[in-house]
A and B are shown apart, each in its own frame.
Chain A
């Protein structure tokens, strides 16, 4: 397992180039080109705002500016998470040519797929940062949580991507299950709403390991509070276990890849 990681570090240029390939081909032969990377997160943020507006219309509470900023601040990481999982899951199946014909550390595929999504995430973050400045959200020391939260989210996405990529190579069902699951996941994840909306059932939503991270992003960045430590601890522990588990599973299955595709 450690050997796999060491090999990956030795071949970090491969990781970089694979990620760069993903980015490059995504925007090839399109008129808008790189503009899509800016536009897509904007679309998601707009969708969130529309949903929030609908909520406020139904419940009769006025739509506050902080509602809008909190939606956009969660929408971008969520969009990243979904895209990373989707691309990560497909990363091995769509490269069977390389898996069966050339030797390389296969771990590079799901990880570079996640890395490729980071660029879009970065662009989206810049757009949102501008929005936050325009909305005069302000800044507090709580923002120091942000790098840790984002790192945890990236690591979690990577862990899932690694597991799903390996599993889908053996059973194509995994790919469809992940697709279906990701489509509906927005309902059990507090992106367009807060878990507090559910009252005493809120912990149920927070059991989704992504939820505490997203909520913590809103609390620290928008509301300038400290995040809920127990739930955050739960997310961190989950991510650590997932990271180790996914790596162990991947290295155990890797010898079978070329013959099981």
Chain B
């Protein structure tokens, strides 16, 4: 490890862009020949896009201090995976530079190096070497790795006989013991059962505590905000925002709350779903606070037997709660052409920390058949409280905590 005096930057990304091609590399010989000659003649200017080319990343810059945990968030296709591949060195940027000080290791595709015919033991050595450990290092950590994986009984069985969960666990265990200066993590925490996931998260915290720099890529905003002080929001290959995780997550969620217009082919549509508190729009809430959900709808013709349903789901779309105007005592709602229906729901936030989505539905009053449904219409975020973990808070109070003498 280089001493901190040399540079306190663990990772520096400057003006990185990456260009990709759609379609086949060479569609035919007819394409190949001109492409080759152009390349040989050096006429190809890398700043320009040729037919079928596109920028997967455009001018991305950020730098990380030693010991920092940094989150990268963004929707699908935002360029997160490309950025990770550039950081690991699997691919090289079209422009720009990436500087890593110290050993970089990635908890990505942790089982890629496994060979099905080799035993668990042999694969630990193989994968360890692939991930950059020396044989001596692996030998030293072998027991810890096997212990972490919980596969001691099967360590001399070929991994082709493993279940996919065992496979992934062994892979993660090897990767988690590499001891890097910079660690890249891409959503691998969803490996294995609940207990193993907890072990993984603890391990990540231990890595951060040991002074390593961590780059964490995830859709799971809760985990990102729990682990990372600073984050970066990628959208279509460009950096939308870099800064404290809370602000970046806010920004990301507020961008998700877009509006829908009344399309010409639709008779009735939910046009807007927002979350707010008593003072204005908000996407971050405290446990025990109040949350207001406003649903707006417009119609092209008269509809007169509706109810509005809202549903709160977690990030896996698992429904946690739903309610509707009908059940809350409102009669059938009527909406005429040109009018806007607005329903405001007040909810107590009894949720613990996490990311939650609001689904909104317009149902027929009697039959419950939907006029319109909008899933993940709004997303909000409940900030963590130290005393509660899990999805909901049951408002715990410590009533007694004493030792009775025998």
Contact = CB atoms under 8 A, between A and B. Distances in A.
Contacts of B91: 255, 258-259
A45 B253 CA distance: 72
B126 A11 contact: no
B118 interface: yes
B106 interface: yes
A141 B150 CA distance: 59
A16 interface: yes
Most buried by A among B131, B134, B136, B158: B134
Given A17-B125, A17-B126, A17-B135, A98 B113 contact: yes
Interface in B48-93: 85, 88-92
Contact of B115 (A21, A100, A101): A21
B156 to A, nearest CB: 13
B106 A102 contact: yes
Interface stretch (A22-30, A143-151, A238-246): A22-30
Contacts, number: 68
B122 interface: yes
A29 B117 contact: yes
Contacts of A24: 117-118, 122
Given A11-B132, A17-B125, A17-B129, A103 B118 contact: no
Given A17-B129, A98-B130, A103-B88, A260 B135 contact: no
Interface in B122-146: 122, 125-126, 129-136
B202 to A, nearest CB: 24
B109 A102 contact: yes
Most buried by A among B126, B130, B134: B130
B96 to A, nearest CB: 13
A104 interface: yes
A166 to B, nearest CB: 15
A102 B171 CA distance: 13
Contacts of B113: 98, 102
Given A13-B135, A16-B135, A21-B126, A103 B117 contact: no
Interface residues on A, range: 20 to 34
B90 A102 contact: yes
A97 interface: yes
Contacts of A255: 91-92
A14 B130 CA distance: 6
Interface residues on B, range: 20 to 34
Most buried by A among B91, B104, B136: B91
B217 to A, nearest CB: 15
Most buried by B among A17, A18, A102, A259: A102
B401 interface: no
Interface in B95-115: 104, 106, 108-109, 112-113, 115
B90 A103 contact: yes
Contacts of B90: 99-103, 258
A28 B109 CA distance: 25
A181 B168 CA distance: 41
A170 B36 CA distance: 13
B135 A101 contact: no
A101 B186 CA distance: 12
Interface in A232-261: 255, 258-260
B25 interface: yes
Contact of B134 (A13, A103, A259): A13
A81 to B, nearest CB: 26
B20 interface: yes
B204 to A, nearest CB: 19
A25 B114 CA distance: 12
B180 to A, nearest CB: 12
A259 B92 CA distance: 10
Contacts of A101: 90, 108-109, 112
Contacts of B117: 24-25, 28-29
Contacts of B104: 103
A170 B91 CA distance: 15
Contacts of B106: 102-103
A98 B112 contact: yes
B287 to A, nearest CB: 40
B193 to A, nearest CB: 24
Interface string A106-132: 000000000000000000000000000
B175 to A, nearest CB: 10
A249 B404 CA distance: 78
Given A101-B108, A260-B25, A13 B88 contact: no
A170 B126 CA distance: 26
Contacts of A11: 129, 132
Contacts of A258: 85, 90-91
A249 B117 CA distance: 33
Contacts of B88: 102-103
A258 B88 CA distance: 12
Contacts of A100: 90
Contacts of B136: 13
A18 B108 CA distance: 20
A89 to B, nearest CB: 19
Interface in B326-385: none
Interface in A59-110: 97-104
Given A13-B135, A17-B130, A21-B126, 4 more contacts: A13-B136, A25-B118, A103-B106, A259-B20
5 contacts: A16-B129, A16-B135, A28-B118, A102-B90, A103-B88
The 10 closest A-B pairs by CB, nearest first: A255-B92, A101-B109, A17-B129, A101-B112, A103-B89, A103-B88, A14-B129, A258-B91, A13-B135, A13-B134
Interface of A: 11, 13-14, 16-18, 21, 24-25, 28-29, 97-104, 170, 255, 258-260
Interface of B: 20, 25, 85, 88-92, 104, 106, 108-109, 112-113, 115, 117-118, 122, 125-126, 129-136, 158
